[in-house]
Each structure stands twice: as C-alpha cells, then as structure tokens.
Structure 1
Amino acid sequence: MASDSQHAIENLSQENLTKNMEHEDQVLFNYPGKTRSIVWKYFGFTKKGLGPAIKANLNMNTAICKLCKKSYANKGNTTNLLFHIDHDHKRTASGDENNNIKKAPTQPTIQALIANPGRLTQKSRTNLDDALLKLIVGKALPISLVKNPHFIEFTKLLDPRYKLPSQQDVVKSLNTKKDQMRSTLKLDLGSVSDVAITHDGWTSCATESYSAVTAHFIDDKWNLKSAVLQTKKVEGSHTSEKIAEGLKEVQTEWKLPTSLTLVTDNAANERKAAELLGWTRFGCYGHRINLVVKHALEVTELNKILGKSRRLVTFFHQSTSATDALIEKQKLVFSNTPGLIGHKLITDVPTRWNSTLAMLGRLAEQLPAIMSIIFDTNCLNKTAISTVKTYCLTSEEHSVVQELISVLKPFETATTILCAESSPTMHKVLPCMVKIKKKLEDVESNPLTSPVVKKVILKMKEELLKRTQVEDVPLLAALLNPDTKNLNFLTAEEQVSARQLLMDTALNLKVDNAALPNVKVKQEEAVSAILPDLPVLPDIDLESDQNVKFECEKEGPSEKKMKLTDMDEWFDDVCFIGESQQPLQNLIELEVHRYFSHNQPQSSKQQTLLQWWQANHYFYPQLATLAKKYLAVPASSVPSERVFSLAGIVVDKKRSRLKPDLVDTLIFMKMNMETYW
C-alpha cells in the first residue's frame, strides 16, 4: 500500500497541482526542462519577465513550495527542499485516493512533534551545555556524570535531540567559562583602589596541602563584593616565606593594589608573612573568640560537668534502645511542645567551642525526658538505666549549665555577626566586644551566680584583655559608621585619640602632604564648611516627570570641555572677594569636622551603612575613600574556611585523584557563580 501511495505521488499530474493552487494569488511555474528530483513536483518559481516559462524569465534563485508558499534558496542542492517536504508535508503519506496533495496543518500536533521533533538549534544546544555545567559545578558533581547510563537515559527522555558532551569536552568548556569569569572579575578588581584579602590553608583527604585566597571590595555603586581568587596546591611546609611568595604571586596575577589588608588566623607564619610583604594584617576575630572561650572552659570544676555530659551523649549515640526510649519519653513529656520531639543529643567537637554550647543546650532541653527514663525501670535494662543515672546531671550541675549557656550565648551571637560575608562586619567588632564585656559583668554581678561560672567569667575577661585590644582597623571602621562614629562606648580620651587617628589616616592617603596644591575657596564657602549640620535635601523623583530637563542636559558643544564657570581667571581678584589660599589639609580637617558635626536624620535610619555612604559620599569625598577601604575588610577569615568546606566535598575519597588545576577550576566557578557566571 505504501509503495502504491509513493508511486501515486511521484506521478502526480500538473492538473492536480494546479487545482490545489487555484485559490492562491501567486502563480508558480514548474522547473523548466527535464529533472530527476521529486522535489520539483512540489516547488515552483515565479516569473521575473515576460515571455515563456524558461530559465531566463524565471526567478531561479528562490524556490517556493506550492503547498504552503514557503520560499527557500535554490543553490543547486535540493537537500533543504527535500527536508521541507518530508518534515512539513509528510511526503510518503500525503496522497489520498484521488491523488490530491494535502497541505500540512499550520500547527503540528503533539504526537507529530514527539514522533519527529526536528533538529536542535545551536542556541538550544549552547543553553543545554551551559545548564549542564551549572549542574556539575553548582552541586559539586563528578564530571563522569556525563557517562552515567542512568543520567544519559534521563536526558534522552527530556530531549532525545540533545547529545551529552564527553568528559574531555566538559573540561574544555569549564576552562573556557572560567577564563570568561576571570576576565569579568579582573575588570571589577581593576576598577577599585582598595581590596582586602583573606588567606588560609587546608589539607585534603589525599594528604595534599592547599591555600585559598579570597578578595573583598566595594565597587563604584557601593556594593560589597566577595570572590575566590585561587585554591592552589602548596608543596612542602607552610613557611612564612612561602606564604608571602604565594600572596605576592596572587597580587601580581590579579593586578591588585600595592597596599592590601590581609585577614588571617592567628598563626605565627601568617603574621610573619604579612610583615615580609609590608601589608596591614588583621587577626580573625572568629579565631580570637574561639580561643577566648576554649581557654575559659578549661576551668577544673567545669571539666567534670563537661566530661559527664560527653559520656551521657556518647551512650545515647551508641545505644539504639536508649535512643528509642528517649523518643518515647519525649512524646509524653513534650506533648504540649511537639517541636522538641525527635531532638537527638549533640556531640561536641574539641576544635569548635560552639559545639560545646550546642551540646549543653540540648542536654538542658532534654533533661526532663532523660530523667523520666531513670524513673521508668521498664523502658531499659538495669545496666542502661544505671549508666544514664550515673552520667545524668544533678540539679546543681544543671543550674551551672544554665548559667554557662547564658554566658556563652553572647559569644555565639558575636561570632555569627562577625563571620557574615554579605554585609560589612569590621565596624561591628568594637560594639560586639563592648556588648560581650557588658553581659559578662551583668552575670558576674548577680549574687546568685555560681562560683564555677564566676571563675569562667574571670578567665574570659583575662583572655579578652589579651586578645581583643583596640586596633586601628576596627576603630577606623567604627568611626566611619554614622551610628557609632561618636564612640560613646569608649572613654573621652580614647574618643579624642580615635578622631586624631581618622584625621591622620585621611591625610596619609596622599604621598606627600607638604606638596599638596593650594585651593581657592570663597569666604562664604569657608564659613559654610564648618557649620554643624548640612541641610537635608528632599528626594527628587526623576521618573515621575520625563519632561523635566535640567540645564546640564541641554544640548551644547560636546567636543569642547566645558568649564564650571564662564568667567576667566583674570577676574579672580574681583569675583573671589575675601579669598583665602586653603591647603588641601585644611579642607580635609573641615570635612572631618563636618562629618562629626552632622546629625543623621531619622529617615536615614532605614538605610544600610553602604546605602548611607552612597547617598553622602559627595559630601565627604576623602572619608568615602577610607570607607571603601576599611568597611570592605572582613572581621574574620571565615570566607577562606568556607572555600575549604566546599573543597572537602569536591576532593573526597571517591575523587581524591583530581588534578589541582581542576580542583581550582571547580571551586573558583562554584564560589563565584552567583556574581560572575
């Protein structure tokens, strides 16, 4: 039957084709002369001149379908014409009993699309390849995913036209995308004058040492940006000279400013490396808080309580029957608070003090359920109940734990605040330390506080005094915050010293202060510069009236540089009556004085710190430069540690043989994906 239909189509007469074209406005002529291809049964040409339908009088460059009037270029090859007939008109089944040719429907059915989906465009293939790279990088999946038969089957069901690239092609695409992201990041880094970096080291499961460097800066639109610059394998020991050499290579490769602020942990080799480079170094406050609490928890009387707590948690973790009994008791004890049902006890980690706080907090929360296990002899055997009873906290120990939790909570809050990455943190260092000291004094002054907790507080105060002295970087950052610029939490002498530090730092932005040019200032401008407050100007909604046109927008000569005034310098002695030659140093002093005298309006309380500087940087240009420098410095080196949290997923036991360059590529793209993909 199919062969008969095919034969009928190939022998269609000119009368049948003409019959289907009677309603069309345009007359098409058959291919002139003899031809072997079947496509000329369906395609024709229009006339371009008078006379018979020969090649000279026909437009042979364009072939037009007699069924749907689609036009195609005729360059001697009929492949595109044949594809049109097969795909759009189903050439092998387009004839009926009377050999009448049927036009294809204007919109194909779903069944037709599934049976013959057509070719995949280059744009679609590029989008699918890019989505595949995002999946591999974003979820830290192995590149061998493209060879997984189940994933291949999954992609075929989604789109059978898409063919997964090979592993080699995926690696090439990753390197190409990485180069594009690096170029964009270099442009951002090249547009700023101050950059802060963090540095830390890490050892993988394959016993390979890596170092990570992250950059932090504020762009022209006052957005705080962070980026991972590199995750490089380090050979040999981590000496200060080797660290300094690696950081210098990063500075040269990324064309960073000559003077950088380096944030690291408190290791001696990191401190020495900063000295060798001549950079400003700031010790991570996350590590400082960790050391303060860690040493404070070493009080002898507290070690007994912590030891019992660890043994109790370990027993429940090792006994499934004890865990099941705890859950059953939770259902009875916490029937009115279902959110506490199902909570398991938490084991602390020696290197993380906040895990000790989490352990004590969960024990204090679940103590009623644990006590109910002790008094129920049927839920566990005698040995298990005896173990729980031995390690369970007494009422006095529970009271100490409750007090200790209230002491440690401010440290946990401060750590969370200072380790943030999406907003400035350096200006919060001093307020956090003042808040912690105030909380410690409140608990210590309470007559009901136990002697054990008082010993812990005394140890904390000693450690805070040793590790959290007032430094220039957090002090300047606090001064550059309008909410804390007065430093009310410091003594009057310290406030005066801090303002002088800000003045000196602003002046030191210039290499040679003695050679600063003199600036002409009108007498009235000099007077207005020292006024205590600036007027608050109303906001102008430029979008509300598109017809408003300012004088600066009027058309004028674009090639010539327009002066700020149309008066020549010859009139200076007439126009600038009472002028004074003001060195730039005096202008900076006036700017600083105006900044401290300016009262922040209530409406600006709704702004973030960077939004405030974006709105006011024109009034304080020199201080704005300092704000970009010091507010971009992170208060901790946690960004580098977060890199290694991802690195631990990328370089695991199943992928321990990854090449260092590929490790760097995957981490760079993952950590910078949201901003630079």
Structure 2
Amino acid sequence: MSGTPSTERSCTEGQEHQRPLLSQSTSDGINNIDVEFNTLECDSNVNENGKRKLTSNVWPHFDREKHDGEWTTICKNCKKRLLAKSRSGTTHLRGHLDRCPRRIFHDVKQMLKATKIKEGDVKLSTFQFDQDIARRELANMIILHEYPLSIVDHFGFQRFLTSVQPMFKIPTRNTLKSDIMKMYDYERVKTLDLLERNKRRIAITTNMWTCNNQRKGFMAITTHFVDNEWALQSRIIRFAHVQCPHTSVVLADAMMDCILDWRLEKKVSVLTVDNCSTNNTMIPIILDKLSSDSTLLNGEMFHMRCSAHILNLIVNEGLDVINDNIDRIRGSVSYWTSSPKREEKFLETVRELEIESIKKLALDCKTKWNSTFLMIHSALIYKTVFPRLRQRDSQYKCVPTEND
C-alpha cells in the first residue's frame, strides 16, 4: 500500500489488467491517501508458470515431453509417440484415440456395480468392459458345455447378450472357431513347456472306445507325473480318431506319433492299458520303436495292466450267475426311459403309489459293473411300480419278478 502509483503487473505476456479496488480518504488532517489494489484477473486457462493450460479432453490420455528439442505426446494406453506442436492441434490425437488398439472403453452405465460382501453389506466397485476377455469367456463356455458354434447365430442368445452388455460385438462362427483353436495352441505350448521342464519320469494311460452313433473309434492318452514342486499333475495330451481296423500295429503307430509329438520318447516310465489282447501285442511293437536305454529296466516294467479293468472283469464274471435277472431289470429300465410319454406314465404311477423318491431310473453300460450297480440300486426303489405298470401297458413284457 503506497501513495505512489502502484506497480503495474500482468498475468499473461502482453496483457495488463488494472482496476482500482478501494479509494479511502481520512478527515483527521492527514492528506488524502488513495489506496489502490491491483487485482490480477488471471484467465482460468493459464497455469502458475504463465503458460496456457491444455483444455482439450484428449490430454488426460496423453503425456507430454520434449523429444529432440520438440514437444511430443505419448499415448498412455499403447505408448505411441505423436507430435504435439502448437500448430498441430489435437485432431490427430483424437483420431489416434478412436483407433488405439489398447484403449479400454468404459461403459458409463455400468461404471458402478454393486458387489455383495456379506448379508447387509454392499461394496461399490468400478467395472471395465474388455471385448477380448468377453470373447475368451464365450469360447470357454462353448468348450466346457460342448455347445454348438451356431449358438452365436441364435436370436435368443443374441438378445440376451445385448441386454447384458450392448458393447459386446458377437463373433461369427468362424471367428469363434479360430478363437478356440488359438486357445488350444496356447494351452498346448504351456503343457509342452511343463513336460519339458519336468525332470522326472512320466506315466501314460490310454483307452480306446467306439462311439455308438457314428461307430468311430477314439483313443485318449493321458500323462501323469510329479512336477518339480512335487505336485501330482495329469494332462490329456491326445484325443484322436483312430481309423479302423484297430489292430495292434495301428494302435502302436497312433501311440508312437503322440509320444514323439510331445517329445516323451526318453521320459516314459510305464504305459497303462486294459487287458485287451490287442494291447498285449501292441506293447512289444512300441518297445521296439523306443531305444532300450530310454526305458526303465530295459522295458521290463513298461507294460502296466489296469487294475480297475481287472476288477471290472472279476465282477462281470460274477454277475453272469444272475444274468437273466439283470436282463429283465435292464429291459424294464430301458422300456420306461425310451420316450417322454412312457416316462410320464411311470412318474404318474409313482405318485399313485405314494413313493416320495425323486431318483430317476438309470440305464447301465454292460461293460461297466459300477453302472450296473447304480441301475439296480435305482430300480429297487420302484420295485412295486413295475407290476402296476404291467396292468396298465399290455406291451410291457419284461417285468422283474420278486426274486429278481
């Protein structure tokens, strides 16, 4: 504060802003003193250093720095460097944001989602939509539940996805197939690396079966090993269609192709197979293809017989004593589960007899004794139902007796 003219200041270069804020006079013999306060009316777009602020809404996505004496910008998402001269403007920056491959787009409507922690407590958290993650989870769903690839063409499925996340672009069947194959290639490389890093021996189990409706034979090959952290691991490394006839030579060639493909020719400890005679002749063929120094005890322990299959053979031989009884039970279960109309009639009779069990009839597989046990176990619950059904359906012939 002074009686002399106030110092003129400016908040931007070449601009002067002055305004007398207060003029005060005293009446006690003192000369009038004019007090002036210079208020600097600074533009809100100017920072403390006197430089104009960056006001465009694209700048939060970029960092500015000098490179070779010139101002440049670096995209925070993909780290690409672009020019940032004053005469360049921001159009090119905005264009880069629109096509930036790593930019995460936010669904404003779902930026907040409620997460229930425990009864009565809710926590708010941010949500970020990622197209790649959504596509990967869609492929996982197809694989886990064996859905057809054509599900992406179903109108109801498309409406559901649109209602859940409008930003998700539904892939075509070919794109989905490509995604699944890429996932397989990725998992195969991971498993191959795991097997190569493992320093211990690897046991292999295999099984053959025929698909009922297509009459095609398939071979599944699984590896079992203890990894370097002493954790038991199991990995399916092959599920392949094997051309007929399934001779020992054909099966040996399929097994050796898998062993060589996964680089296990020097790591296999034992090969576990069932007691089929074809497998007995397959083992020597495989041992001839492997070097003698790559097997344990020159291959004496290479052939391991499946104990579960041996137990299955023992029990099935015992079941032959009551085979006629089991055939009548199997025929009854097959008859009343063959169509929805018969199942409805069966359930209606169950309600009439006031049987409260909700267990369904289960048809067995003749070659698996445990499935035969489960079939008999479920049929015993409804043993009074079968005679009643004989009175209601004249075509039903194979009624189990009380002795059965």
Partner of 1:21: 44
Partner of 1:442: none
Partner of 1:162: 168
Distance 1:326 1:389, change over 3 A: farther
Secondary structure of the structure 2 residue equivalent to 1:330: coil
Q: State the alpha-carbon separation in 2 of the partners of residues 174 and 21 from structure 1.
A: 54
Secondary structure of the structure 2 residue equivalent to 1:243: helix
Match status 1:61 vs 2:71: yes
Distance apart, 1:217 and its partner CA: 0.7
Q: State the alpha-carbon separation in 1 of the partners of residues 175 and 360 from structure 2.
A: 46
Instruction: Give the TM-score normalised by structure 1.
Output: 0.38
- The sequence identity of aligned pairs, in percent, is 22
Secondary structure of the structure 1 residue equivalent to 2:238: strand
Give the structure, 1 or 2, with the largest relative contact order (CA under 8 Å, sep 6 or more).
Answer: 1
Residues 24-74 of structure 1 deviation map (CA, whole Å, 9 limit, x = unaligned):
64544499xxxxxx979x9xxxxxxxxxxxxxxxx98379xxxxxxxx962
Which one has a larger percent strand, Structure 1 or Structure 2?
2
Partner of 1:198: 205
Match status 1:354 vs 2:370: yes
Distance apart, 1:227 and its partner CA: 0.7
Partner of 1:270: 279
Equivalent runs, 1:483-522 vs 2, <5 Å: none
Which one has a larger percent helix, Structure 1 or Structure 2?
1
Residues 390-440 of structure 1 deviation map (CA, whole Å, 9 limit, x = unaligned):
94543xx26xxxxxxxxxxxxxxxxxxxxxxxxxxxxxxxxxxxxxxxxxx
Distance 1:165 1:364, change over 3 A: closer
Distance apart, 1:142 and its partner CA: 2.5
Distance apart, 1:197 and its partner CA: 0.9
Match status 1:325 vs 2:349: yes
1:140 to 137, 146, 168: 146
Secondary structure of the structure 2 residue equivalent to 1:263: strand
Secondary structure of the structure 1 residue equivalent to 2:235: strand
Distance apart, 1:385 and its partner CA: 9.1
Distance apart, 1:264 and its partner CA: 1.3
Query: In the alignment, is the contact (CA less than 8 A) between 1:192 and 1:218 conserved in 2?
Result: no
Distance apart, 1:194 and its partner CA: 0.8
Partner of 1:282: 304
Residues 73-93 of structure 1 deviation map (CA, whole Å, 9 limit, x = unaligned):
625252266689xxxxxxxxx
Residues 589-626 of structure 1 deviation map (CA, whole Å, 9 limit, x = unaligned):
xxxxxxxxxxxxxxxxxxxxxxxxxxxxxxxxxxxxxx
Q: State the alpha-carbon separation in 1 of the partners of residues 252 and 185 from structure 2.
A: 26
Partner of 1:649: none
1:343 to 356, 359, 362: 359
Q: State the alpha-carbon separation in 2 of the partners of residues 23 and 179 from structure 1.
A: 55
1:234 to 237, 242, 260: 242
Distance apart, 1:248 and its partner CA: 1.7
Distance apart, 1:253 and its partner CA: 1.5
Query: In the alignment, is the contact (CA less than 8 A) between 2:316 and 2:369 conserved in 1?
Result: yes
Equivalent runs, 1:539-554 vs 2, <5 Å: none
Q: State the alpha-carbon separation in 1 of the partners of residues 358 and 237 from structure 2.
A: 42
Partner of 1:293: 315
Distance apart, 1:229 and its partner CA: 0.9
Query: In the alignment, is the contact (CA less than 8 A) between 2:47 and 2:53 conserved in 1?
Result: no
Instruction: Give the TM-score normalised by structure 2.
Output: 0.61
Equivalent runs, 1:167-566 vs 2, <5 Å: 167-190=173-196, 191-204=198-211, 205-258=213-266, 259-278=268-287, 279=299, 280-299=302-321, 302-313=322-333, 316-317=336-337, 318=342, 320-331=344-355, 340-367=356-383, 369-370=384-385, 383-384=391-392, 391=399, 393-394=401-402, 397=403
Alignment RMSD: 4.4
Distance apart, 1:136 and its partner CA: 2.1
Q: State the alpha-carbon separation in 2 of the partners of residues 233 and 390 from structure 1.
A: 38
Distance apart, 1:179 and its partner CA: 2.5
Deviates more, 1:250-259 or 1:314-323: 314-323
Q: State the alpha-carbon separation in 2 of the partners of residues 168 and 346 from structure 1.
A: 38
Q: State the alpha-carbon separation in 2 of the partners of residues 388 and 176 from structure 1.
A: 52
- For structure 2, the residue ranges without an aligned partner over 5 or more in a row are 1-16, 18-40, 60-68, 74-81, 97-105, 113-126, 288-298
Q: State the alpha-carbon separation in 2 of the partners of residues 112 and 342 from structure 1.
A: 42
Equivalent runs, 1:611-626 vs 2, <5 Å: none
Secondary structure of the structure 1 residue equivalent to 2:354: helix
Distance 1:153 1:319, change over 3 A: closer
Residues 427-486 of structure 1 deviation map (CA, whole Å, 9 limit, x = unaligned):
xxxxxxxxxxxxxxxxxxxxxxxxxxxxxxxxxxxxxxxxxxxxxxxxxxxxxxxxxxxx
Distance apart, 1:290 and its partner CA: 1.9
Q: State the alpha-carbon separation in 2 of the partners of residues 187 and 193 from structure 1.
A: 14
